[in-house]
């Protein structure tokens, strides 16, 4: 896997690493389809927007699909939206597909609480590099009680959207391997009246973890630990027992993170039976003679609605990849996006991979920062190499 190569090279102390990724003759380009959700509108202010105020942000409107369906009058907005999603897929060329992607940020974790407690400069330049203090752990941070209640709000909102709107629950669930995301997904989707053919069995995916800085909150626990928490959840192929990506020495750049987010999306979109890379979609999508599966319920589609439980930085990265305007989420918040994916052919050729970078930190408090970086105590000037103050000790997980 590309990222493990980068991480392995990073531990050799290289400050700029560029490896050639295998050449692709096909890539997928993603776009945000606007006009369906308030979060896409430049006039919506993310800092005050409440996703629970009206249908997750779904705009009340008529759709093209309504015109082709005489029986939509008694349907809810979400029911009609789902028909529209099926309609868009049915009437798109073979190399184009649409999915509704719900992205949820984890509820507040102990690292978020610690950042507020110590202040951002001190946190970034010193405390974030420690695994915790004597009373709290922020290595692979767990949810605070506030974080648990934020996840419960998401749970209750899904429940009410089902009761009032008959919302289509996700067809597939993906989750970051960090404890705070795993537990948020668990609380959000436990005990909902999910359909039997789309149960909540998430796939744990490295590609959706938080941007990897040198902070210990970005270091994950082992696969066995995750299995012990949620024994029936699944893992993407190749998921390693130990965290091979976080180094504690170099940080993933925004460009490197976007590459990994894109790879994770490519994996999800390529798996769809009819999505990009799907081999054998019939040429006549509109259901001419000899076309067997067109019953108007999207039988030739798969996983039209996707749930991803991740992090603020990671969701910001996905939003960049899919061409959505920046939309900061508070802890526990959820954003839906209608995503259009188009497979495009590109000439073969080597693609340069983004590099990871070093960042300066202090080896003792007090630490503060200016626009140009950390300002450390005179006795402990900023350093950029070597393992941070916290060492490699992995604290004992908190039982769930």
Ligand X SMILES: *[C@@H]1O[C@H](CO)[C@@H](O)[C@H](O)[C@H]1NC(C)=O
Q: How far is the CB of 136 from ligand X (least distance, A)?
A: 4
Give me the long-range contacts of 9-14 (CB less than 8 A, separation at least 24): 10/247, 10/249, 10/250, 10/356, 11/247, 11/249, 13/249, 13/385
Q: Provide the sign of the torsion angle of the four alpha carbons 112, 118, 123, 127, taken in this order.
A: negative
Contacts of 199 (CB under 8 A, 6+ apart): none
Distance CA 251, CA 386 (A): 13
Neighbours of 183 (CB within 10 A): 24
**387 vs 400 by CB, closer to ligand X:** 400
Q: How far is the CB of 192 from ligand X (least distance, A)?
A: 8
- How many angstroms separate the Cα of 57 from the Cα of each of 25, 26, 145, 332? 37, 33, 27, 15
Q: Which residues pair with 132 in a beta bridge?
A: 137
Task: Decide: helix, strand or coil at residue 217.
Answer: helix
Contacts with ligand X, 132-171, as mask; x by CB under 6 A = -xxxx-----------------------------------
Look up 210 and say whether it is catalytic.
Answer: yes
**325 vs 368 by CB, closer to ligand X:** 368
Q: How far is the CB of 342 from ligand X (least distance, A)?
A: 34
**372 vs 396 by CB, closer to ligand X:** 396
Which of the residues 84, 108, 210, 314 is marked catalytic?
A: 210
By CB under 6 A, name the one of 39, 186, 261, 317 that touches ligand X: 186
What kind and span of H or E run contains 305? strand 305-310
- When asked if residue 110 is in the footprint of ligand X (CB under 6 A), the reply is yes
Q: How far is the CB of 268 from ligand X (least distance, A)?
A: 20
**32 vs 186 by CB, closer to ligand X:** 186
Q: Where are the alpha helices (DSSP H) in the chain?
A: 2-11, 64-67, 77-90, 110-118, 120-125, 145-165, 179-189, 223-229, 254-271, 312-321
Q: How far is the CB of 115 from ligand X (least distance, A)?
A: 8
Look up 314 and say whether it is catalytic.
Answer: no
- When asked if residue 113 is in the footprint of ligand X (CB under 6 A), the reply is yes
Q: Which of 360, 388, 362 lies closest to 376, judged by CA?
A: 362
Stretch that binds ligand X, among 43-51, 65-73, 112-120, 279-287 (CB under 6 A): 112-120
Q: How far is the CB of 52 from ligand X (least distance, A)?
A: 21
Site size with ligand X, rule: CB under 6 A: 15
**51 vs 233 by CB, closer to ligand X:** 233
- When asked if residue 264 is in the footprint of ligand X (CB under 6 A), the reply is no
Contacts of 299 (CB under 8 A, 6+ apart): 293
What kind and span of H or E run contains 357? strand 356-357
Which of the residues 82, 84, 86, 106 is marked catalytic?
A: 106
CA 348 to centroid of chain Cα atoms:
29
Contacts with ligand X, 190-229, as mask; x by CB under 6 A = x---------x----------------------------x
Q: How far is the CB of 233 from ligand X (least distance, A)?
A: 7
**83 vs 215 by CB, closer to ligand X:** 215
By CB under 6 A, name the one of 67, 117, 299, 392 that touches ligand X: 117
Catalytic sites, residue numbers: 106, 210
Give the binding site for ligand X (CB under 6 A): 110, 113-114, 117, 133-136, 186, 189-190, 200, 229-230, 400
């Amino acid at each position: 896997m590309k990222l493990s190569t980068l991480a392995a090279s990073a531990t050799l102390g290289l400050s700029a690493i560029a490896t050639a990724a295998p050449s692709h003759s096909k890539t997928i380009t993603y776009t945000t389809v606007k006009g369906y959700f308030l979060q896409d509108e430049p006039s919506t202010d993310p800092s005050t927007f409440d996703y629970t105020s009206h249908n997750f942000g779904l705009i009340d409107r008529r759709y093209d699909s309504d015109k082709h369906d005489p029986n939509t009058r008694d349907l809810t907005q979400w029911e009609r939206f789902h028909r529209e999603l099926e309609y868009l897929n049915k009437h798109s060329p073979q190399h184009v597909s649409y999915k509704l992607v719900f992205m949820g940020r984890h509820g507040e974790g102990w690292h978020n609480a610690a950042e507020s407690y110590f202040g951002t400069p001190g946190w970034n330049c010193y405390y974030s590099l420690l695994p915790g203090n004597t009373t709290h752990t922020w290595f692979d941070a767990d949810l605070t009680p506030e974080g648990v209640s934020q996840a419960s709000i998401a749970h209750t909102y899904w429940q009410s959207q089902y009761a009032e709107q008959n919302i289509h629950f996700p067809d597939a669930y993906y989750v970051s391997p960090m404890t705070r995301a795993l537990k948020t997904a668990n609380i959000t989707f436990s005990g909902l009246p999910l359909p039997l053919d789309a149960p909540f069995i998430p796939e744990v995916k490295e590609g959706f973890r938080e941007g990897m800085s040198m902070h210990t909150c970005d270091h994950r626990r082992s696969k066995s630990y995750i299995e012990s928490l949620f024994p029936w959840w699944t893992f993407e192929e190749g998921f390693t027992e130990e965290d091979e990506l976080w180094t504690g020495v170099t940080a993933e750049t925004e460009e490197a993170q976007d590459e990994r987010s894109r790879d994770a999306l490519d994996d999800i979109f390529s798996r769809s039976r009819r999505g990009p890379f799907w081999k054998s979609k019939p040429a006549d999508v509109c259901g001419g003679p000899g076309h067997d599966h067109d019953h108007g319920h999207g039988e030739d589609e798969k996983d039209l609605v996707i749930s991803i439980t991740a992090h603020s930085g990671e969701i910001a990265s996905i939003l960049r990849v899919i061409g959505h305007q920046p939309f900061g989420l508070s802890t526990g918040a959820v954003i839906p996006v209608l995503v259009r994916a188009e497979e495009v052919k590109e000439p073969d050729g080597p693609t340069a991979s983004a590099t990871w970078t070093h960042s300066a930190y202090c080896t003792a408090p007090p630490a503060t920062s200016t626009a140009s970086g950390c300002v450390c105590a005179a006795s402990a000037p900023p350093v950029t190499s070597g393992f941070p103050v916290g060492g490699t000790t992995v604290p004992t997980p908190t039982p769930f």
